[in-house]
């Protein structure tokens, strides 16, 4: 095996095989487990019922994010503001009880470090290159931006990892998405990943782990890489990966849970070996030309339903396969769109800047740059910015970004998943549109009947200013 | 977990492609801290928007089989989707493909995700629409009808074993405690920084 060229995925996989069974499944060691309030209560309950312990509590980090309101969590006296929805309150209480009961480090709802799990993991240095990272959330793929093998799991698997620190898995196949050339000015990591999903389709990566390769990714900041890998699951891939490099090492150095001293040097030496070997074989390979990409928006109810901002709403008949034609017709009905309408004429009533895809400091800087000295259009009824963590929020406030947002008519919120998923109080009303920096435009995702258009942070800001989907490069 | 060997009965002729787990069970239903009672929230947006939907059609009430389209269960990792389908009384889903996470969640909840090509799905949709029964035999790995249709399917042998015997995967893995311990010892010696986690 030592001589056979391997992909980055195969290297990380091989390093985590505890044993391989006769039936071909492998017991894979899990280095990092992120836990939030929504997909964990049933797992902790199952441990209690069977009298099981958490095998390695120090390899798990718990933080609430999905269900928390993004309004103030403490009043002026420091007392907790009660969560109005009793079910949401019960879920938060369950995590607050379960974490200490099982010896797991817990970041509380009003702590500075609190935020969306996929923002918190990298920010704390808990997520590291070459590690296996899981969480009961499909956007765990994000951490692949650091060169970690990171993927979402169900609640039974959460229980399995808590009890055994392993998962029984079939190895996925390696898939390469190679991007050639440079992105044109004004085109971001979000536009790139939306474009990629449009090319390979919502099931194009099923059964595979995608490695993103090319100069474009090497030139990206860690934040941008996290955005790209985050949406790997929207292409059906189990995980997304970008080989770790100096940019990643610089980002991680000195973070609270990152290795220190001699450990740091050992870790970096190991991380430098984490890249696909020359001659490694990918089961599937897709080549994308970066120069072809424009700011990209979604028009339908699957993340593969994307067009450049200069494009139009497609006609269902324009799709070759019959079931896609039927799906497109349903999507257009749901979205209230007519084929042939230029997407830049679609009016927008709601703006959401946030989510594990686009709530990091660079995202907020990109949006605020567009908004500086401008205001949201009159037809934009609701515009919110939800920083990915308390630390992102504080950093943004130190840079004065919050002021730019509030001057432009945005609400400046507390960290959490917010309007990405229609679970907490932040929802888009039925029949209204939202230009959203999140990752899913599914039916009802942002609230029953809500119509989502996925965009980059700069494009969300541009839509706010014009009150319609707009090419940010024209502002 | 309830063992599964053969399932026979009517099937719900659904067949839609790219059905995401938000459609199977909306986020609003994820606030529960138990696994029960999610069937009434299943496919809510479809039930609300289409009065003729297959889920509320009395002709298919109580069907233990669901026929679905390509990429079924894509999107969120929520196991609530499998819990909701199980709570509807469904033991078998038949589709051309599934998201990786959904098919794993299904098996862990005693639901068999059968993969068959689109041509077989089209035929089974016809049979199901007529209200005729479909027979699924996990041991033999076949789906048959009363009209001499016979479709063989593949399933990984570990999943098959777990489903046939209703096995708890956690208990199985805990029996491998020694192997896991040996791996951890090796790791702690060679790369102790990985094992520090939140204690770094």
Window A:142-161, CB contacts with B under 8 Å: 152-157, 159-160
B27 — contact with chain A (CB < 8 Å)?
A: yes
Cβ count near A76 (within 10 Å): 6
Strand ordering across the sheet containing A433-436: A411-412, A382-385, A350-353, A433-436, A451-454
pLDDT digits (tens, 9 = 90+) for B102-142: 999 999 999 999 999 999 999 999 999 999 999 999 999 99
Instruction: Write the CB contacts of A278 (distance below 8 Å, at least 6 apart in sequence).
Output: A5
Both B20 and B67 in a single domain?
yes
The verdict on domain A8-169 having CATH code 3.30.499.10 is yes
Q: What angle do CA A447, A470, B75 make, to 5 degrees?
A: 35
Distances (CA, A) of B85 to B16, B35, B93: 15, 11, 9
CA distance A295 to A458: 9
Both B100 and B194 in a single domain?
no
Enter the tokens of residue B1: 């977990």
CA neighbours within 13 Å on the CB side: how many for A22? 2
Which chain A residues contact residue B194 at CB under 8 A?
31, 128, 131
Domain at A296-474: CATH code: 3.30.499.10
- Tell me which residue range forms the domain holding B196: 168-200
CA distance A409 to A464: 9
Both B172 and B125 in a single domain?
no
CA distance B38 to A287: 42
Which is nearest to A55 in space by CA: A167, A162, A158, A166?
A162
Answer whether residue B1 is part of any domain.
no
Both B188 and B158 in a single domain?
no
Domain locations in chain A?
8-169, 296-474
User: Helical H runs in A272-399?
Assistant: 322-335, 361-371, 390-398
Which chain A residues contact residue B71 at CB under 8 A?
202-203, 206, 236
Distance from CA of B118 to the nearest CA of A (A): 11
Answer whether residue B95 is part of any domain.
yes
Distance from CA of B167 to the nearest CA of A (A): 13
Answer whether residue B177 is part of any domain.
yes
Both B63 and B98 in a single domain?
yes
ipTM of the complex as predicted: 0.94
Contact B173 A163 (CB under 8 A): yes
B47 — contact with chain A (CB < 8 Å)?
A: no
CA distance A284 to A282: 5
> Into how many domains does chain B fold?
2
Low-confidence ranges of chain A (pLDDT < 50): none
Answer whether residue B186 is part of any domain.
yes
Closest chain A residue to B82 measured between Cα atoms? A154
Which chain B residues contact residue A439 at CB under 8 A?
none
Both B156 and B177 in a single domain?
no
Low-confidence ranges of chain B (pLDDT < 50): none
Provide the pLDDT for residue A270: 98
How many beta-carbon pairs under 8 angstroms link A with B?
219
Residue B115, domain CATH: 3.20.19.10
Which chain B residues contact residue A26 at CB under 8 A?
none
Which chain B residues contact residue A128 at CB under 8 A?
194
Contact B198 A206 (CB under 8 A): no
Provide the pLDDT for residue A2: 56
Contact B17 A267 (CB under 8 A): no
Contact A59 B197 (CB under 8 A): yes
Cβ-based burial of A111 (10 A; exposed 0-12, middle 13-18, buried ≥19): middle
Answer whether residue B100 is part of any domain.
yes
Which chain B residues contact residue A50 at CB under 8 A?
170-171
Tokens 């102790």 found at: B192
CA distance B156 to A185: 47
Contact B184 A165 (CB under 8 A): yes
Which chain B residues contact residue A48 at CB under 8 A?
none
Contact B18 A327 (CB under 8 A): yes
pLDDT digits (tens, 9 = 90+) for A264-322: 999 999 999 999 999 999 999 999 999 999 999 999 999 999 999 999 999 999 999 88
Instruction: Write the CB contacts of A309 (distance below 8 Å, at least 6 apart in sequence).
Output: A294, A295, A296, A297, A343, A344, A459, A469, A470, A471
């Amino acid at each position: 095996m030592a001589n056979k060229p391997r992909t980055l995925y195969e290297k990380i996989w091989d390093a985590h095989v505890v044993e391989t069974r006769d039936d071909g499944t492998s017991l894979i060691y899990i280095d990092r487990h992120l836990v939030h309030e929504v997909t964990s209560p049933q797992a902790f309950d199952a441990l209690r019922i069977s009298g099981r312990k958490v095998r390695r509590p120090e390899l798990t980090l718990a933080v609430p994010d999905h269900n928390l309101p993004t309004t103030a969590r403490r009043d002026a006296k420091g007392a907790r503001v009660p969560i109005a929805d009793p079910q949401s309150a019960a879920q938060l209480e369950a995590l607050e009880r379960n974490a200490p009961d099982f010896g797991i480090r817990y970041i509380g709802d009003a702590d500075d470090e609190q935020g969306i799990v996929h923002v918190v993991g990298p920010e704390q240095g808990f997520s590291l290159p070459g590690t296996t990272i899981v969480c009961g959330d499909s956007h765990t793929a994000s951490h692949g931006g650091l060169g970690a093998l990171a993927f979402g799991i169900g609640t039974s698997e959460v229980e399995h990892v808590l009890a055994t620190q392993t998962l029984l898995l079939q190895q996925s196949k390696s898939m390469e998405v190679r991007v050639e050339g440079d992105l044109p000015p004004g085109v971001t990591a979000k536009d790139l990943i939306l474009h990629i999903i449009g090319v390979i389709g919502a099931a194009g990566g099923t059964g595979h782990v995608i490695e993103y390769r090319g100069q474009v990714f090497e030139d990206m900041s860690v934040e941008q890489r996290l955005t790209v890998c985050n949406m790997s699951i929207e292409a059906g891939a189990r995980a997304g990966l970008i080989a770790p490099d100096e940019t990643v090492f610089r980002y991680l150095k000195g973070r609270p849970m990152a290795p220190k001293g001699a450990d740091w040097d050992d870790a970096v030496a190991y991380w430098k070996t984490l890249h696909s070997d020359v001659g490694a074989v990918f089961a599937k390979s897709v080549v994308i030309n970066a120069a072809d990409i424009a700011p990209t928006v979604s028009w339908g109810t699957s993340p593969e339903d994307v067009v450049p901002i200069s494009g139009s709403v497609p006609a269902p008949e324009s799709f070759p396969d019959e079931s896609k034609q039927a799906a497109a017709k349903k999507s257009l009905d749901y979205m209230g769109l007519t084929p042939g309408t230029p997407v830049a004429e679609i009016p927008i009533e709601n703006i959401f800047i946030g989510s594990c895809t686009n709530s990091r400091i660079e995202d907020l800087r990109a949006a605020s740059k567009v908004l500086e000295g401008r205001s949201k259009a009159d037809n934009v009824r609701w515009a919110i910015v939800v920083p990915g963590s308390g630390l992102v929020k504080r950093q943004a406030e130190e840079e004065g970004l919050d002021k730019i947002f509030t001057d432009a008519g945005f609400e400046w919120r507390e960290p959490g998943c917010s309007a990405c998923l229609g679970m907490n109080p932040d929802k888009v009303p039925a029949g209204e549109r939202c230009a959203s920096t999140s990752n899913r435009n599914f039916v009802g995702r942002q609230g029953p009947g809500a119509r989502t258009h996925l965009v980059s942070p700069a494009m969300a800001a541009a839509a706010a200013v014009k009150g319609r989907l707009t090419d940010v490069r024209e502002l | 977990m309830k063992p599964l060997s053969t399932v026979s009965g009517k099937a719900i002729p659904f067949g839609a492609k790219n059905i995401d787990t938000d459609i199977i069970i909306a986020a609003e239903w994820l606030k529960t801290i138990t696994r029960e009672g999610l069937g009434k929230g299943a496919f809510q947006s479809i039930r609300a928007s289409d009065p003729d939907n297959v889920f509320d059609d009395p002709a298919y009430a109580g069907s233990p089989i669901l026929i679905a389209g390509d990429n079924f269960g894509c999107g969120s990792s929520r196991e609530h989707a499998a819990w909701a389908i199980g709570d509807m009384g469904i033991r078998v889903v038949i589709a051309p493909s599934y998201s990786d996470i959904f098919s794993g969640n299904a098996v862990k909840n005693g639901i068999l995700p059968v993969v068959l090509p689109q041509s077989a799905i089209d035929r089974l949709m016809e049979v199901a629409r007529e209200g005729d029964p479909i027979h699924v035999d996990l041991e033999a790995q076949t789906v048959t009808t009363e009209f001499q249709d016979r479709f063989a399917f593949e399933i990984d042998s570990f999943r098959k074993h777990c489903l046939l015997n209703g096995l708890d995967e956690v208990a199985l893995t805990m029996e491998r405690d020694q192997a896991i311990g040996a791996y951890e010892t090796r790791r702690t010696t060679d790369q102790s920084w990985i094992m520090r986690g939140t204690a770094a």
